[in-house]
């Protein structure tokens, strides 16, 4: 064995100290020398560990980034980050389950930090018709000056323009097509008002939108909130939801629980976009499974690597034992080496993730144009910004540390029963 | 037919040119004739191994020329040098002669295998050659299970099995006791006398020198005595 | 080059270090197993999606009147003679179905919803999901059945049930709205809820009577195998020359995009997993080369060409890969046999049904994918041996023998 010097002074120094506590600091130093002695192997092993860490933390950072981007994007199309509603409105969206005093509520919420804009909506299902054709649609009374500011639906492939005054309507393009309506045509809306009365409304269609999401394009009509309140006989400060747009998804998390009170239920984005939460959980499970498998593969290679180390160094161990080192000292020595290699891998993996995420969270990642339709249907924004995932870090790092310790121990345990003479003889 | 197997002309070899130059050879001229049995002697570091390596095409001379079987080695590329060694030269080194994963017979046979010889012919020739070095009983053993002398005899069998033009041996007896050395030398002498094999061996051992027909002495990278 | 010698040497060196190579083999087997399992799930989802898209009334190919897709009204219907089914590529066809499909509004005492109202001949619907759905109540009997069947989700939304009557309003052929009451014959339940929310079915003749037109709006064909799609498309384009003939890929570009995306997902998994593996593989190979410096040096000295030394490392790498891959594939195949054919995720995550995602995956193991994995793994094995091989040719016989 060319690269092994049997007369390494430090090693001998360790060997003559039976007391492991006193010997520990030297074990660390020797471990470091040993892993730097076989640089190529150390790097390859560390790279494997780094890859597992990188895969987990980087992929999760991308996923969390994509997820927050999609949630925010979705919120800014129509849903808002937070919705305030009558406590039973979600389960029973009846016209009566409304909230009163919306102007005070809006004023209160808008004054809070982290809030960008707040607007109110009233809504009900109704029959819309034009000429001889009729279709059912969700009629939404909106504060159009405000919606024009935040709702990206008002800017999505619009033909014509968004609502600018009373008596106007803004409808989905698929609905317009089904009704055979073009811009400037009249839309007749017939619904059921409070206490079973008839709600009737005639509006000029001033614009149509195409969001790419069939539910939105096929069955939604926006009209001014006042028009809605009059037609459905609601009070001037009565509506069904107060939509809160926060400065960020993170802000909305903090805000949502503060806004609920007796008679006013606060729904956060998790309530509003449950399919998004579901999708994220599935992704999370998928990534964990993949990580565990990658980790297993890497740990197998670490076992392999320690088998090679032990094979090569058996004569050296024989010499150490001959001069008085005990087998468990050698095992501890190897465990420390495994820990050092693992730390190297962790630093490398986390370093690449941190730098990568750091840069990409500034520049963003442009999503491929070919995937446009697909992404639009999933409400993905055009650029996504990764967000460093500490959750992934707290799982990946302990798994890899424990895994490599185990990996070193498996072949190391054989050394317990090794005798100096046999070990020395294996040099030939 | 030309009976000069090797011609070395003005060969020099200097190691560590950039740092502290070591002049291993300082201009060596030598002719080896067919049927020669030569010993290269001289103190340690005098350039014996270097000269053997130049002749075997393992190393290239800085100046001068080495011609083996009418081919100038400086004109050959790596593959051609490999082929030359494979076809014309047999090597016996001081150590690391054998592959630990192969049996004695396979070790003798693999060079023939490299040459593309058929399995039956190879096996037959390997057993024959092992018998000629007195190891017919150990054909199926691996090197790990043989003594140093036995291993060295397998190495010679491997080197001669292909009937090379030239056999180069670098201190083949270094790890052997005098009895075993005696046997080895008898074997080489027999090969030289009966088959006319040309042999060049580097050695410190007076016993070896006594057996050879030509004796060359090196000192500081130059030939001082040649018979 | 004496390949047999090289193979022999490689194999013996692998056996010589069997303990550590066993670790490596296990890592490769786990990697291959992982890729294979991921593959069966992805392939399952991919083919399920196609099956779903095809059986969601699309068929493999569908025929409409021009303009119907932009303006899906009865005015865009077309007439079919009796015995209209084209007698083309008969052996490739599983079945034909002609339908009317028009937008409508459905009303219960409590709720109103927009729907797609579909008139069918129940005998022809063996080609669509209707033949596989679970029914509460009964399916439709004949094409003149005047009752309707609605989706489970729709029944929940309308707060109605089998036997009740619902009012449906739709536009007749004269452009005027018709309103009629229909009794619910059955409530169908499918995987996911997306369909259940939209489609309401009745007999096609019943619907023709309601809208006053003896026409259909679509003809869809289901083929025995997807491979026949192109030739069928070609024939149909000629047969229905004045109509619009479209494949399911054209009708559902999103599903088609996912179908294609799944193809690259398979490669993605392969590369992630194999990257995890390559460090260990290179590590072992380099060690194997470094341990044999003297041997390789001697081999060079006695006349082995540098190329043969490279080959030796490459062969060793491919050998290890081959054994590992064989192990992984066999294990994967066995596990696949033991797994239930349908992976049911609904117990895992109750949300699937709610959001219209299918909770069941029909696992699929394609022999062609196993071949692909094998070939790609071999390529990977060769790539992994490049660096160690480069290291091996650098060994000079001179130095190797001096040590
Ligand atoms: N690769 C090398 N790098 C540097 N110096 C070398 C190298 N090979 C040989 N030398 C030097 O060249 C000189 C001649 O070496 P060589 O091995 O030929 O001597 P030798 O006569 O065979 O000695 P010995 O009897 O000890 O084997 C020595 O001084 C040696 O140190
Ligand atoms: Mg020498």
* Whole-number pLDDT of residue A397: 95
Ligand positioned closest to the Cα atom of B24: 1
Residue A380 has pLDDT above 70, yes or no: no
Measured from the CB, is residue B44 less than 6 Å from ligand 1?
yes
Closest partner residue to C302 (CB to CB) among B79, B111, B116 is B111
Instruction: Write phi, then psi, for A298 (nearest 5 degrees).
Output: -65, -40
Q: How far is CA C200 from the centre of its chain?
A: 27
CA–CA gap between residue C183 and residue C168 (Å, rounded): 11
Residue A109 is predicted with a pLDDT of 92
* Residue A201: strand pairing partners: A189
Q: CB of A63 within 8 A of CB of A287? A: yes
Three-class secondary structure of residue A255 per DSSP: helix
Confirm or reject contact between A278 and chain C (CB < 8 A): yes
C-contacting residues in B 109-138 (Cβ below 8 Å): 110-111, 113-114, 116
Complex-level ipTM: 0.84
pLDDT digits (tens, 9 = 90+) for C333-379: 999 999 888 887 766 555 555 555 567 788 999 999 999 999 999 99
The tokens describing C322, both together, are: 């081959």
Average pLDDT, chain C: 87
CA distance C83 to chain A (A): 32
When scoring A44, A171, A218 by the number of chain C Cβ atoms within 10 A, the one with the most, hence best to mutate, is A44
**With contacts defined as CB-CB under 8 Å, which chain C residues touch A127?**
105, 112, 169
Tell me how far the alpha carbon of residue B139 lies from the centroid of ligand 2, in angstroms: 30
Evaluate if residue A3 carries a pLDDT over 70: no
Q: Which of C14, C15, C296, C302 to mutate to test the interface with B (most CBs of B within 10 A)?
A: C302
- pLDDT 10s digits, C311-330: 989 999 999 999 999 999 99
Residue whose CA is closest, atom 27 of ligand 1?
A: B44
More confident residue, A46 or B101: A46
Query: pLDDT-based confidence at A216, cuts 50/70/90?
Result: confident
- Is the CB of B49 inside a 6 Å radius of any atom of ligand 1? yes
User: Mean pLDDT across the stretch B117-128?
Assistant: 91
Which chain residues have CB less than 5 Å from ligand 2, an ion? B 49
What is the spatial distance between Cα A169 and Cα A321, in angstroms, rounded to a whole number? 89
Distance B21 CA to ligand 2 centre (A): 18
Average pLDDT value for chain A: 84
Task: Give per-residue pLDDT as tens, C62-80.
Answer: 999 988 887 788 888 998 8
Return the percentage of chain A with pLDDT > 90, whole number: 42
A190 touches chain C (CB under 8 A): no
- The three state secondary structure string of chain C is CCHHHHHHHHHHHHHHCHHHHHHHHHHHHHHHHHHHHHHHHHHHHHHHHHHHHHHHHHCCEEEECCCCCCCCCHHHCECCCCCCCCCCCHHHEEEEEEEEEEEEEEECCCCEEEEEEEEECHHHHHHCHHHCCEEEECCCCCCCCCCEEEEHHHHHHHCCCCCCEEEEEEECCCCCEEEEEEEEEEEEECCCCCCCCCEEEEEHHHHHHHHCCCCECEEEEEECCHHHHHHHHHHHHHHCCCCEEEEHHHHCHHHHHHHHHHHHHHHHHHHHHHHHHHHHHHHHHHHHHHHCHHHHHHHHHCCCCHHHHHHHHHHHHHHHHHHHHHHHHHHHHHHHHHCCCEEECCCCCCHHHHCCCCCEEECCCCHHHHHHHHHHHHHHHHHHHHHHHHHHHCCCHHHHHHC
For residue range B159-191, list pLDDT tens digits in order: 989 889 899 998 888 777 888 888 888 888 988
Best of C279, C343, C401 to mutate (most A CBs within 10 Å, chain A) = C279
φ, ψ dihedrals at B28, nearest 5°: -110, 130
Identify the pLDDT of residue C172: 86
User: Average pLDDT, whole number, for chain B?
Assistant: 89
B220 CB within 6 A, ligand 1: no
Range in A78-82, A422-426, C159-163, C288-292 the model is least confident about: A422-426
Confirm or reject: Cβ of B15 under 6 Å from ligand 1.
Answer: yes
Quick one: pLDDT band at residue B2, thresholds 50, 70, 90? low
Residue of B nearest to C295 (CA): B99
Neighbouring chains to B with at least 3 Cβ pairs closer than 8 Å: C
Put simply, whether the predicted model's pTM sits higher than 0.90 gets the answer no
Q: What percent of chain C has pLDDT over 70?
A: 96
Distance CA A1, CA A3 (A): 6
Interatomic CA distance for residues A88 and A94, integer angstroms: 9
Which residue's alpha carbon is nearest to atom 17 within ligand 1? B49
- Contact flag B96-C4 (C-beta cutoff 8 Å): no
A297: nearest CB among C27, C175, C177? C27
- Residues β-bridged to residue A7: none
Bridge-based pairing state of the strands B214-219 and B222-226: antiparallel
Q: Is the CB of B201 under 6 A from ligand 1?
A: no
Shortest CA gap B31–chain C (Å): 22
Q: Which ligand is nearest to the CA of B45?
A: 1
* Listed ranges A148-157, A365-374, C169-178, C195-204; the one with the highest mean pLDDT: C195-204
């Amino acid at each position: 064995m060319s690269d092994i010097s049997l007369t390494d002074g430090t090693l001998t120094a360790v060997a003559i100290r039976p007391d492991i506590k006193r010997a520990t600091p030297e074990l660390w130093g020797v471990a470091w020398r040993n892993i730097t002695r076989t640089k190529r192997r150390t790097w390859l092993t560390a790279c494997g560990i780094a890859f597992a860490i990188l895969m987990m933390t980087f992929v999760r950072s991308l996923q969390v980034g994509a997820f927050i981007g999609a949630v925010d994007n979705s919120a800014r199309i129509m849903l808002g980050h937070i919705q305030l509603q009558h406590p039973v409105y979600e389960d029973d969206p009846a016209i009566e389950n409304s909230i009163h005093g919306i102007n005070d509520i809006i004023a209160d919420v808008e004054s809070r930090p982290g809030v960008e804009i707040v607007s109110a909506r009233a809504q009900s299902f109704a029959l819309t018709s034009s000429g001889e054709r009729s279709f059912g649609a969700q009629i939404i009374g909106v504060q159009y000056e405000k919606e024009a500011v935040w709702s990206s639906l008002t800017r999505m492939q619009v033909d014509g323009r968004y609502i600018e005054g009373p008596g106007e309507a803004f409808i989905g393009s698929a609905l317009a097509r089904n009704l055979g309506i073009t811009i400037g045509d009249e839309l007749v809306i017939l619904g059921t008002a409070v206490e079973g009365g008839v709600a009737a409304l005639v509006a000029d269609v001033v614009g149509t939108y195409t969001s790419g999401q069939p539910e939105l394009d096929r069955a939604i009509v926006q009209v001014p909130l006042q028009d809605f309140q009059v037609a459905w006989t609601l009070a001037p400060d009565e509506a069904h939801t107060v939509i809160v747009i926060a400065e960020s998804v993170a802000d909305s998390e903090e805000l949502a629980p503060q806004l609920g009170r007796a008679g006013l239920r606060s729904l956060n984005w998790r309530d509003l976009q449950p399919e998004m939460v579901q999708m994220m959980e599935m992704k999370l499970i998928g990534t964990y499974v993949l990580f565990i498998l990658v980790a297993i593969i890497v740990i197998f290679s670490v076992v392999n690597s320690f088998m090679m180390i032990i094979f090569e160094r058996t004569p050296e161990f024989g010499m150490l034992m001959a001069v008085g080192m005990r087998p468990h000292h050698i095992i501890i020595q190897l465990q420390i080496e495994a820990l050092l290699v693992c730390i190297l891998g962790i630093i490398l993996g986390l370093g690449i993730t941190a730098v990568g995420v750091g840069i990409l969270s500034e520049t963003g990642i442009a999503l491929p144009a070919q995937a446009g339709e697909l992404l639009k249907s999933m409400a993905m924004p055009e650029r996504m910004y990764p967000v460093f995932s500490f959750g992934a870090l707290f799982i990946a790092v302990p798994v890899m540390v424990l895994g490599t310790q185990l990996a070193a121990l498996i072949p190391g345990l054989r050394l317990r029963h090794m005798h100096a003479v046999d070990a020395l003889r294996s040099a030939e | 037919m030309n009976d000069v197997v090797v011609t070395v002309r003005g060969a020099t070899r200097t190691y560590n040119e950039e740092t502290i130059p070591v002049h291993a050879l300082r201009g060596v001229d030598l002719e080896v004739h067919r049927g020669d049995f030569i010993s290269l002697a001289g103190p340690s570091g005098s350039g014996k191994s270097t000269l053997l390596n130049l002749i075997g095409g393992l190393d290239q001379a800085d100046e001068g020329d080495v011609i083996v079987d009418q081919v100038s080695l400086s004109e050959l590329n790596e593959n051609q040098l490999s082929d030359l060694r494979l076809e014309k030269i047999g090597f016996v080194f001081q150590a690391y002669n054998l592959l630990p994963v192969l049996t004695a017979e396979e070790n003798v046979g693999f060079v023939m295998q490299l040459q593309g010889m058929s399995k039956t012919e190879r096996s037959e020739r390997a057993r024959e050659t092992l018998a000629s070095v007195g190891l017919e009983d150990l054909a199926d053993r691996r090197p790990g299970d043989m003594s140093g002398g036995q291993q060295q005899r397998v190495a010679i069998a491997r080197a001669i099995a292909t009937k090379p033009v030239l056999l180069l041996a670098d201190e083949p007896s270094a790890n052997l006791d005098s009895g075993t050395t005696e046997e080895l030398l008898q074997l080489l002498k027999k090969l030289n006398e009966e088959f006319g094999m040309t042999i060049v061996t580097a050695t410190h051992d007076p016993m070896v020198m006594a057996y050879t027909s030509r004796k060359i002495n090196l000192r500081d990278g130059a030939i001082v005595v040649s018979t | 080059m004496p390949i047999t010698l090289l193979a022999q040497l490689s194999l013996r060196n692998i056996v010589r270090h069997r303990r550590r190579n066993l670790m490596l083999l296990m890592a490769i087997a786990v990697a291959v197993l992982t890729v294979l399992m991921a593959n069966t799930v992805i392939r399952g989802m991919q083919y399920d999606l196609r099956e779903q898209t095809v059986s969601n009334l699309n068929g493999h190919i569908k025929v409409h009147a021009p303009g119907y897709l932009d303006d899906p009204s009865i005015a865009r219907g077309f007439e079919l003679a009796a015995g209209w089914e084209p007698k083309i590529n008969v052996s490739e066809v599983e079945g034909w179905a002609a339908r009317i499909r028009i937008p409508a509004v459905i009303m219960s005492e409590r709720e109103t919803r927009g729907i797609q109202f579909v008139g069918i001949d129940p005998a022809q619907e063996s080609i669509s999901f209707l033949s596989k759905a679970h029914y509460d109540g009964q399916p439709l009997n004949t094409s003149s059945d005047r009752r309707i069947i609605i989706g489970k989700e729709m029944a929940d939304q309308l707060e109605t049930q089998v036997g009740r009557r619902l009012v449906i309003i739709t536009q007749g052929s004269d452009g005027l709205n018709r309103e009629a009451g229909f009794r619910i014959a059955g409530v169908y339940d499918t995987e996911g809820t997306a369909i259940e929310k939209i489609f309401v079915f009745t007999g096609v003749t019943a619907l023709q009577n309601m809208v006053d037109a003896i026409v259909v709006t679509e003809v869809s064909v289901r083929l025995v195998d997807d491979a026949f799609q192109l030739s069928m498309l070609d024939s149909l384009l000629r047969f229905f020359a004045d109509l619009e003939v479209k494949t399911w890929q054209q009708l559902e570009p999103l599903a088609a995009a996912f179908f294609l995306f799944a193809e690259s997902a398979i490669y993605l998994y392969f590369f992630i997993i194999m990257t995890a593996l390559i460090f260990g593989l290179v590590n072992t190979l380099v060690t194997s080369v470094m341990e044999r410096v003297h041997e390789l040096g001697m081999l060079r000295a006695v006349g082995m060409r540098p190329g043969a030394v490279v080959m030796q490392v490459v062969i060793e790498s491919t050998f290890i890969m081959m054994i590992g891959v064989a192990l992984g594939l066999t294990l994967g195949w066995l596990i696949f046999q033991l797994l239930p054919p349908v992976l049911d995720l609904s117990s895992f995550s109750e949300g699937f049904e709610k959001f219209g995602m299918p909770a069941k995956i029909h696992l699929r193991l394609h022999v062609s994918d196993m071949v692909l994995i094998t070939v790609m793994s071999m390529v990977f094995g060769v790539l992994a041996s490049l660096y160690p091989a480069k290291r091996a040719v650098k060994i000079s016989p001179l130095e190797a023998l001096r040590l």
